[in-house]
Structure 1
């Protein structure tokens, strides 16, 4: 049913249950995991002109490498992993990659924010769910150790 699973990661420790779910689904369906790290350069547009973009860019790409290494470590031999790093807005990069690379499923974390937090902060997961051309499995992540890892499917 699934051949290509898109797994966006931000490199946070809270991503572990999300990666676990993606690995389990990929193993069950003999699927390839597209591990995607999005460098959101727009967040640094307001820096003073004298700030070296090269230094910041290098740090961001080091974070990407570390995040993708962690995906490979957790997935281990459950499924093959393709590493992808792009510069864009996260929700746009995720939706575009799912479409352009014929992914069948997106597995991503969500903090489950509601109310005013969601209105003020926005939600990458919510934007992806609304715009994605494929089903999205969201796995709730918490700041503290995760004990409830039930996924939520949205088509």
Structure 2
């Protein structure tokens, strides 16, 4: 059923928890993992021009570490892994990558929220991926 599982990552603790589920899915379905980090260009574009290059470089290094962590975990359990880094709006790049790479499912984390917080956070990356992906989205609650 699943041959390729996309794991968007920002290197946070939530990604670690999501990765546990993605690795288990991959092992159960003899699937590969695609690790994707998206450098949110809006964050450095909003800075004064003299700080943009440094901020972009820092974010790029953080993205490299994030996909590297996924690679290491997948390789530890002999799950094939592909890594990629993109720039842009995270939810858009995640959906775009899923379509272009032919993944079968996206495993992504979210924080549990109260009803009020859910309404206030409708713009979250996970929410937008769920709304726009053309493949199933496996959402992992990452709160303790």
Determine helix, strand or coil for the equivalent of 1:113: coil
1:131 partnered with 2:129: no
Q: Which segments of 5 or more consecutive residues in structure 1 lack a partner in the other structure?
A: 147-155
TM-score after normalising by structure 1: 0.85
Partners of 2:47 and 2:93 in 1: CA distance: 23
Residue 140 of structure 1 corresponds to which residue in structure 2? Answer: 141
Residue 150 of structure 1 corresponds to which residue in structure 2? Answer: none
Determine helix, strand or coil for the equivalent of 1:103: coil
CA-based RMSD of the aligned residues comes to 1.5
Partners of 1:123 and 1:49 in 2: CA distance: 27
Moved over 4 A (4+): none
Partners of 1:136 and 1:28 in 2: CA distance: 17
Relative to its length, the structure with more helix (as a share) is 2
* Alpha-carbon shift at residue 90 of structure 1 (Å): 0.8
Aligned length: 142
Give the direction of change, closer, same or farther, for the CA distance of 1:29–1:13 in structure 2 (3 Å limit). Answer: same
Determine helix, strand or coil for the equivalent of 2:108: strand
Q: Which segments of 5 or more consecutive residues in structure 2 lack a partner in the other structure?
A: none
* Alpha-carbon shift at residue 126 of structure 1 (Å): 1.1
